[in-house]
Structure 1
């Protein structure tokens, strides 16, 4: 005879799962704010715990270390409103990859990456600054840029399926990497004063002139 499922136990399990998800989101949000505002050194686990309204032990239990928490914050910022979906599986990047021509691919990419950079570029600046004195942060900084390069390689290869580019594949990848870097985005927006939308327009124009025959 099949045993019936205890509905109360299932409800409690779902509630605990929702609470854990809410707690994690609160910690990530607090960490994001403090890392950007205070920098790597001053944004202590204790300060993040106070901001999130949780214990220090809760953060260590959920993330393991301050470095792992920073990685989680960066990933959450990259993924935006879809935290469980890798960036290249989201609608914005996927649409650019499958667009019917190179001009459309560039325009869609520029619009999407400007929004991603708006969220994540300040955090990358935190990692870069800390990397000057923290070997683990230097490794993370390199890892993040290698991940970017891998994603951008997918775009260049998708563009090449529609025909040749003005420059060769490797130079196209490195040029795309530089022009859409978090560092350049911050110069353009924070120093020159362009909005993310204006940056997207400039990026699309620059990539069109550089890459397309």
Structure 2
């Protein structure tokens, strides 16, 4: 534990939109509930990163969020679900019900014709996601040895990330950019192993790589590993 816990501003039925910005109008119940969930997730993210999964207490999360602990249980049920929801928000950057692979960044990739540029744009988005998600993934990884449900959550996240990298492989294959003899499944797995958040954590925590170094060097590695020699210098 580090320092005392300060109480955040309590729930308000007026004056804020769900993102916490002043509106000058009374919020609907749905907007109030959404604003409350956002504050709880933000408080939980802070506590999980600061103290780890086991040492984070829901009453402290509630205090940070300015709500009763019963409100935390009402919205999330338990600490594992709260961590999962925090990860989901971190992955996409908000709580809008729009899957990551249905967002504008992917449409930009689909319009790109240069395979090297596709890899660069993919990693630019990956960097943004990794920057948000990596601190919480450290929390999950640290608890996998003692919590079977969090171990399953880690595995689920890995499988989802592997599946997502099939999109990159398909984009490159559609442009006849993959190395001769390399199929989409092979390209997906190579990209997943090289560019997923677990690899980033190893390079960051063990090797001391910065995010800038990770993005640049991973781009070089992916280009060399995936693209046909005639598609890159």
TM-score bin (small chain):
0.7 to 0.9
Q: CA RMSD in A?
A: 1.8
Q: By how many angstroms is 1:66 displaced?
A: 1.4
Which residue number in structure 2 is paired with residue 132 of structure 1? 145
Q: Pairwise mapping of residues 135-154 of structure 1 onto structure 2 (< 5 A)?
A: 135-154=148-167
**Is contact 1:101-1:159 (8 Å) kept?**
no
Which residue number in structure 1 is paired with residue 16 of structure 2? none
Q: By how many angstroms is 1:100 displaced?
A: 1.4
The structure 2 residue matched to 1:170, chosen from 174, 178, 185, is 185
Which residue number in structure 1 is paired with residue 216 of structure 2? 201
CA distance in 1, matches of 2:107, 2:138: 27
Is 2:29 the counterpart of 1:16? yes
**Is contact 1:149-1:173 (8 Å) kept?**
yes
Give the TM-score normalised by structure 2: 0.80
Which residue number in structure 1 is paired with residue 227 of structure 2? 212
Q: By how many angstroms is 1:40 displaced?
A: 0.9
CA distance in 1, matches of 2:108, 2:72: 36
Q: Which runs of 4+ in 1 moved over 4 A?
A: none
Query: Cα–Cα, structure 1 residues 59 and 84, in superposed 2: closer, same or farther, change >3 Å?
Result: same
Bigger Cα displacement from structure 2, 56-65 vs 160-169: 160-169
Q: Pairwise mapping of residues 113-132 of structure 1 onto structure 2 (< 5 A)?
A: 113-132=126-145
Which has more helix, going by share of residues? 1
Which residue number in structure 2 is paired with residue 62 of structure 1? 75
**Is contact 2:115-2:177 (8 Å) kept?**
no
CA distance in 1, matches of 2:150, 2:208: 29
CA distance in 2, matches of 1:38, 1:67: 15
**Is contact 1:152-1:173 (8 Å) kept?**
yes
Q: By how many angstroms is 1:174 displaced?
A: 1.4
Give the TM-score normalised by structure 1: 0.87
CA distance in 2, matches of 1:36, 1:157: 35
Cα deviations across residues 173-212 of structure 1 (Å, max 9, x unaligned)?
1111111121221233344444323321111111001111
CA distance in 2, matches of 1:119, 1:87: 14
Return 5+ residue gaps in structure 1 as ranges.
1-10
| Secondary structure of 1:159's aligned partner | helix
Return 5+ residue gaps in structure 2 as ranges.
1-24, 229-233
